[in-house]
């Protein structure tokens, strides 16, 4: 007998938010099969690693390089997490199971239920909080799909500071409502490449209509941070971001425990790797299967190389050992702005390279079909990025060998602000 009806909030059964929201984040570094290769300088003239002291909030920098397994979440961050909609629900996708004639169970962790509509708020709140604690008055960042920019704008406002958001030009044009919501939350958003930095001006001089890339937008946000002596917030890829995102997997573990369920497979989508890694890393000591779903148009898993590469196109930040298509790779303008990044987080790359984590690549067309199936069965319009994970899960459940299994899927965000890209 199924224990809870997920359309009725768990608190009505006496489960409190604090029974599900963890008190500590989980950092996978000490549990990796081999030590993580450290970031590397690539310019003999200057150390980009030393520069991090002027770029990141100090507490974030400390957490970036720690090998401590658990990090206590400060009370104020827990309060802001609750205000932002945590814990997010774990919902059984019964109609999808029926549609697919699947004899197992499909659950999804729904990060779209946060107030900004995606998992990105999980990493934005702590970074804005630590920056404000350290007396910083403004933060800067990049955004691809717009979800990270939205989360940064709100997190900065919640912590009483300003934010400057460099939004990849093609998304800036495709998604005017994103720009609007970032502004409503108090952020200041510009299209990247922009005229605000030397690097942006150089690119615009050569190509005034440049579509922009996440690599370029990161370079601009970091340059702007250094020029204005403010601090930069990281949206993905870095260890500390994945540690903050571990709240997804830690909550899911408690929710599955309440249900008396054990997953056979965990599925999520990968841009830089933060929602997927945050979701699956807390389960790493179990033998659960894990599948990372990326975009076929940005084929980092099938065509990328595991090597040191630049995080940002201008090379202001250090290099990381990761699976990468090359920092100068210009991806096609697919809807899923958040999946266009050229690389994947180092810890995730290591686990993909070792075979512990499986991968899938999904075309835009297939992700749009999955988006519609999910909307019509579950009532939720997923973000185009999340639709890739849904497509991978649908394929998994259609495979006869997987009948009877328990599938847990991370739906990283909703697509309600992306509707204009779906066409007539
Ligand atoms: C809704 C959503 N899902 C997934 C991603 C991919 O990023 P990451 O791999 O860091 O979770 C993004 C990035 O913008 C996003 O907005």
DSSP labels, 333-395: --S-GGG--SB--HHHHHHHHTTSSEEEEE-HHHHHHHHHHHHHHHS--B-HHHHHHHHHHHH
DSSP 21: S
Residues 82 and 143 in one domain: no
Mean of the per-residue pLDDT values of the chain: 94
> What was the pLDDT predicted at 350?
98
* Average pLDDT estimate for 294-313: 96
Same domain? 226 vs 312:
no
User: Is residue 234 very low, low, confident or very high in pLDDT (cuts 50, 70, 90)?
Assistant: very high
8-15: list long-range contacts, CB under 8 Å, 24+ apart.
9/89, 10/89, 10/258, 15/258
Q: Which of 232, 248, 263 is where one domain is finished?
A: 232
On whether residue 37 sits in a domain, the answer given is no
**Which residue minimizes the CA distance to atom 14 of ligand 1?**
338
Same domain, residue pair 186 and 290:
no
Compute the average pLDDT of residues 146-173.
96
pLDDT in tens, 389-401: 999 999 999 999 9
pLDDT in tens, 161-178: 999 999 999 989 988 999
Q: Dihedral sign, CA of 170, 243, 73, 257?
A: positive
Same domain, residue pair 318 and 228: no
* Residue 7 pLDDT exceeds 70: no
pLDDT at 16: 83
Q: What is the pLDDT of residues 239-282, one digit of tens each?
A: 999 999 999 999 999 999 999 999 999 999 999 999 999 999 99
Supply the range of the domain harboring residue 249. 78-118+239-422
- Residue 1's pLDDT is what? 40
Average pLDDT over residues 372-377: 98
Same domain, yes or no, for 205 and 258? no
Distance between CA 192 and CA 275 in Å, rounded?
A: 24
Residue 278 in any domain: the answer is yes
Tell whether the model's pLDDT for residue 62 goes beyond 90. yes
Q: Ligand 1 within 6 A of 148 CB?
A: yes
Show which of 203, 232, 261 is a domain's final residue: 232
| Whether residue 255 is found in the same domain as residue 180 | no
Which residue of 213, 413, 416, 421 sits with most ligand 1 atoms within 8 Å of its CB, as the best mutation to test the pocket?
Answer: 413
Please work out whether the CB of residue 338 comes within 6 Å of at least one atom of ligand 1.
yes
Say yes or no: 137 and 221 in one domain: yes
Q: Are residues 128 and 109 in the same domain?
A: no
For ligand 1, pick from 124, 167, 274, 409 the residue to mutate: most ligand atoms within 8 Å of CB.
274
The answer, yes or no, to whether any atom of ligand 1 lies below 6 A from the CB of 273, is: yes
Pair (86, 178) in one structural domain: no
Contacts of 270 (CB under 8 A, 6+ apart): 276, 292, 293, 294, 300, 301, 339, 344, 348
- Count of the separate structural domains present in the chain: 2
Residue whose Cα lies nearest atom 5 of ligand 1: it is 338
Q: Is the CB of 271 under 6 A from ligand 1?
A: yes
Instruction: State which of 169, 200, 232 marks the end of a domain.
Output: 232
- pLDDT at residue number 4: 55
The answer on 251 and 217 residing in a single domain is no
Whether residue 87 has a cis bond before it, omega within 30° of 0: yes
> Residues 195-228: pLDDT tens digits?
999 999 999 999 999 999 888 999 999 999 999 9
Is 221 within the bounds of a domain?
yes
Report if residue 332 sits inside a domain: yes
228/271 same-domain check: no
| pTM, 2 dp | 0.95
Nearest residue (by CA) to ligand 1, atom 10, is 274
pLDDT of residue 313: 85
Provide the CATH number for the domain around residue 288: 3.40.50.1100
Q: Is residue 13 part of a domain?
A: no
Residue 43 within a domain: no
């Amino acid at each position: 007998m199924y224990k809870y009806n997920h359309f009725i909030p768990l608190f009505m059964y006496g489960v409190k938010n604090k029974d599900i929201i963890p008190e500590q984040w989980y950092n996978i570094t000490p549990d990796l099969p081999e030590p993580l290769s450290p970031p590397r300088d690539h310019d003999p003239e200057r150390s980009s690693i030393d520069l991090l002291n002027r770029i990141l909030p100090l507490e974030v920098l400390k957490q970036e390089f720690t090998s401590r397994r658990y990090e206590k979440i400060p009370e104020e961050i827990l309060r802001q997490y609750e205000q932002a909609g945590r814990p997010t629900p774990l919902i059984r996708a019964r109609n999808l199971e029926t549609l697919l004639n699947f004899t197992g169970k499909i659950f999804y962790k729904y990060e779209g239920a946060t107030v900004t509509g995606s998992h990105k708020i999980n990493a934005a709140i702590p970074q804005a909080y630590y920056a404000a604690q350290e007396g910083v008055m403004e933060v800067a960042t990049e955004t691809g799909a717009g979800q990270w920019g939205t989360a940064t704008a709100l997190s900065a406002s919640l912590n009483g500071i300003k934010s400057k958001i460099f939004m990849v030009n093609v998304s800036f044009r495709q998604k005017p409502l994103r720009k609007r919501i970032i502004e409503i939350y108090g952020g200041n958003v510009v299209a990247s490449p922009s005229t605000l930095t030397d690097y942006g001006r150089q690119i615009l001089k050569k190509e005034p209509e440049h579509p922009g890339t996440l690599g370029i937008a990161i370079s601009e946000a970091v340059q702007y941070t250094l020029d204005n002596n403010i601090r930069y917030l990281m949206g993905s890829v870095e260890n500390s971001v994945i540690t903050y995102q571990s709240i997804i997997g830690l909550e899911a573990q408690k929710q599955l425990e309440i249900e008396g369920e054990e997953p056979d497979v965990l599925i999520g989508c990968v841009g830089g790797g933060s929602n997927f890694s945050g979701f699956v890393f807390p389960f790493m000591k179990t033998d659960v299967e894990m599948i990372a779903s990326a975009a076929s148009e940005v084929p980092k898993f099938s065509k990328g190389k595991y090597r040191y590469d630049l995080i940002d196109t201008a090379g202001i930040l250090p290099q990381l050992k990761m699976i990468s298509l090359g920092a100068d790779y210009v991806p096609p303008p697919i809807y899923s702005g958040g999946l266009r990044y050229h690389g994947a987080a180092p810890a995730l790359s290591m686990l993909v390279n070792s075979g512990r984590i499986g991968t899938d690549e999904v075309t835009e067309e297939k992700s749009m079909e999955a988006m519609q199936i999910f909307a019509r069965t579950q009532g939720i319009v997923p973000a185009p990025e999340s639709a890739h994970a849904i497509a991978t899960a649908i394929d998994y459940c259609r495979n006869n060998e997987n009948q009877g299994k328990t599938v847990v899927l991370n739906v990283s965000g909703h697509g309600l602000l992306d509707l204009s890209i779906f066409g007539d």
